[in-house]
């Protein structure tokens, strides 16, 4: 199956999904379709485990699901569920498998409360494995089975849910060669839902092209000889930025060499991230995600209540936090080790630098951090100016990249990527003005592959580029009072071509002569008319 074929398939899928959602908001509807996709994935992965590991015997003429129903019954059920949970981190009962669900729909044997029973059973069985409990428990809690927008009656809601299951069941999860397309399809749908959700879309999804810029920066120089790599996103949204970083690495995502860490305040989005990573082949043992307020609940250092060991710092930190968000900057936070070295706290009305300092605190000395922020962080005064100056004096800020306007869902403002490194030998800062590097795409601007390559190559070469990039010394930064506004360093002024004044005078004289002739002709006509 070619890339074009895959795009055609996902396009048809999106059209069908839109037809089914009716009047339901896209941001709400995604919770159903994406959750059912994930449930199908988990169920089919469990079935594959049961067969390939000879946990069940599948007699000739019987499906794997029928064999599972037959063998894992009665008193033996608990043993099967424990075995599955030890290996996969979760377990689905025979009556609740995807194949069983589809069969019950086809036989008109299901009502909305049955869906609730299926998800309740799944939650109950997450207790069987304490190591994976946090990764799976409550992952389907956002599937609101009683939502009146599904239908005014129980029958109508059942019909809507059944239609969604049938749609997901019709999806081809593999191409002709057997390659798994699920992650690609899932990522496509997340992007489409984000685009349709408007401002809310920006809360859970960073456009893939912007993610690529950040990912290429923080993985620059990493090779296969680097046996492990850890990446942390303190505002992870749907987890797509984390996955993009993984895709830029030479390691196999399922090998265990890449460890993913993230926090997300919104529970619905946190659930989305858990599903997204696992459907891209990330094992639960290679990801640690928390449903927390990053600024209020710092990333844990060491073992938590469940015995999970959390590293304090990471090889890479990436983030696209909410811009100029409000936060509680109570003065007691000046004792917080994340903020204590900077003398001031970010303003209550603008948490941008709070996210910067949190992320810096969790960056390894040899690591790289890239964060997307509004342009105001470059030049605003007050506490932000003090923090900005301290960061520069510590020699942490490496690069400032100005991005085009209208790249993100829900906001049209231009943004900036700040790149940080703690163990820098040079004391200059690279400024890149990429504000004109884009292609118009429907209602938004988009970075092309050429735009991305130009930015990354300029970042790597670290040289002055006329009207595009400038390497500013620390003295230059000081002369500008630590103001980092990009036009102060990258001159993009285009001179107007010189004006030939003699030619202008000649043209004006010709115009005057033409006007006189026209006036004479008009006067002549007026005389004829007797005026």
Prediction pTM value: 0.86
**pLDDT(381) > 80:** yes
Alpha-carbon gap, residue 425 to 374, rounded angstroms:
28
Alpha-carbon gap, residue 474 to 478, rounded angstroms:
6
Query: Helix crossing, 64-71 with 98-106: angle to 10°?
Result: 100
| pLDDT in the model for residue 328 | 96
Domain ranges in the chain are: 3-196, 200-488, 499-531
CATH of domain 200-488: 3.40.50.150
pLDDT digits (tens, 9 = 90+) for 325-352: 999 999 999 999 999 999 999 999 999 9
pLDDT digits (tens, 9 = 90+) for 489-502: 998 655 556 766 77
Chain-wide mean pLDDT for the chain?
Answer: 87
Domain range 3-196, its CATH number among 1.10.10.10, 1.20.1260.30, 3.40.50.300, 1.10.150.120? 1.20.1260.30
| pLDDT in the model for residue 1 | 43
Residues of the chain above pLDDT 90, percent = 57
9 — pLDDT class (breaks 50, 70, 90): low
Alpha-carbon gap, residue 302 to 294, rounded angstroms:
16
| pLDDT in the model for residue 454 | 96
**pLDDT(356) > 80:** yes
Alpha-carbon gap, residue 367 to 219, rounded angstroms:
9
pLDDT digits (tens, 9 = 90+) for 389-448: 999 999 999 999 999 988 876 667 889 999 999 999 999 999 999 999 878 877 788 889
Alpha-carbon gap, residue 402 to 455, rounded angstroms:
10
pLDDT digits (tens, 9 = 90+) for 170-214: 877 766 666 666 777 777 777 776 666 555 444 556 788 999 999
Q: For 76-87, what is the mean pLDDT?
A: 94
Q: What residues does 231 pair with on adjacent strands? A: 260, 316
Per-residue HEC secondary structure of 90-133 comes to CCCCHHHCHHHHHHHHHCCCCCHHHHHHHHHHHHHHHHHCCCCH
| pLDDT in the model for residue 17 | 67
| pLDDT in the model for residue 189 | 75
Question: Would you say the CATH fold of 200-488 matches that of 3-196?
Answer: no
């Amino acid at each position: 199956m070619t890339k074009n074929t895959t795009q055609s398939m996902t396009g048809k899928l999106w059209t069908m999904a839109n037809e089914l959602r009716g009047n339901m908001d896209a941001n709400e509807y995604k919770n159903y379709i994406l959750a059912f996709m994930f449930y199908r994935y988990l169920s089919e992965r469990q079935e594959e485990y049961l067969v390939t590991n000879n946990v069940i015997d599948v007699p000739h003429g019987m499906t794997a699901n029928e064999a599972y129903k037959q063998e894992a019954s009665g008193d033996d059920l608990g043993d099967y569920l424990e075995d599955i949970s030890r290996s996969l981190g979760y377990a689905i009962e025979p009556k609740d498998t995807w194949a069983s669900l589809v069969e019950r729909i086809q036989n008109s044997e299901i009502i909305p409360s049955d869906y609730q029973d299926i998800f309740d059973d799944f939650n109950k069985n997450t207790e069987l494995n304490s190591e994976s409990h946090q990764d799976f428990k409550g992952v389907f809690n956002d599937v609101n089975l009683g939502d009146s927008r599904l239908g005014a009656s129980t029958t109508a809601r059942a019909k809507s849910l059944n239609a969604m299951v049938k749609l997901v069941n019709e999806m081809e999860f593999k191409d002709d060669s057997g390659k798994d397309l699920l992650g690609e399809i899932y990522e496509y749908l997340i992007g489409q839902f984000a685009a349709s959700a408007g401002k809310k879309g920006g809360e859970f999804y960073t456009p893939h092209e912007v993610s690529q810029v950040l990912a290429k920066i923080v993985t620059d120089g990493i090779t296969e000889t680097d046996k492990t790599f850890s990446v942390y996103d303190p505002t992870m949204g749907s987890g797509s930025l984390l996955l993009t970083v993984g895709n830029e690495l030479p390691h196999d995502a399922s090998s265990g060499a890449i460890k993913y860490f993230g926090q997300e305040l919104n529970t619905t989005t946190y659930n989305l991230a858990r599903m997204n990573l696992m459907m891209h082949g990330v094992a639960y043992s290679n990801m640690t995600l928390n449903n927390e307020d990053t600024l209020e609940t710092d990333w844990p250092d060491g073992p938590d209540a469940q015995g999970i060991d959390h590293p304090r710092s990471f090889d890479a930190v990436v983030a696209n936090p909410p811009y100029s968000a409000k936060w509680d900057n109570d003065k007691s936070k000046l004792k917080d080790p994340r903020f204590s070295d900077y003398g001031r706290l970010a303003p209550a009305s603008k948490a941008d630098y709070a996210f910067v300092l949190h992320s810096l605190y969790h960056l390894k000395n040899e690591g790289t951090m890239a964060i997307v922020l509004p342009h105001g962080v470059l030049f605003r005064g007050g506490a932000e100016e003090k923090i900005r100056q301290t960061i520069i004096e510590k020699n942490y800020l490496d690069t400032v990249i100005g991005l085009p306007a209208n790249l993100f869902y829900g906001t049209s403002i231009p943004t900036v990527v700040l790149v940080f490194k703690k163990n820098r030998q040079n004391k200059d800062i690279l400024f890149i003005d990429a504000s004109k590097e884009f292609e118009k795409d429907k209602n938004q601007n988009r970075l092309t592959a050429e735009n991305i390559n130009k930015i990354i190559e300029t970042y790597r070469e670290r040289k002055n580029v006329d009207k595009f990039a400038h390497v500013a010394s620390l003295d230059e930064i000081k002369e500008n009072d630590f103001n980092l506004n990009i036009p102060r360093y990258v001159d993009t002024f285009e001179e107007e071509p010189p004006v030939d004044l003699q030619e202008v005078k000649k043209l004006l004289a010709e115009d005057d002569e033409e006007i006189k002739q026209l006036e004479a002709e008009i006067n002549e006509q007026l005389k004829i008319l007797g005026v």
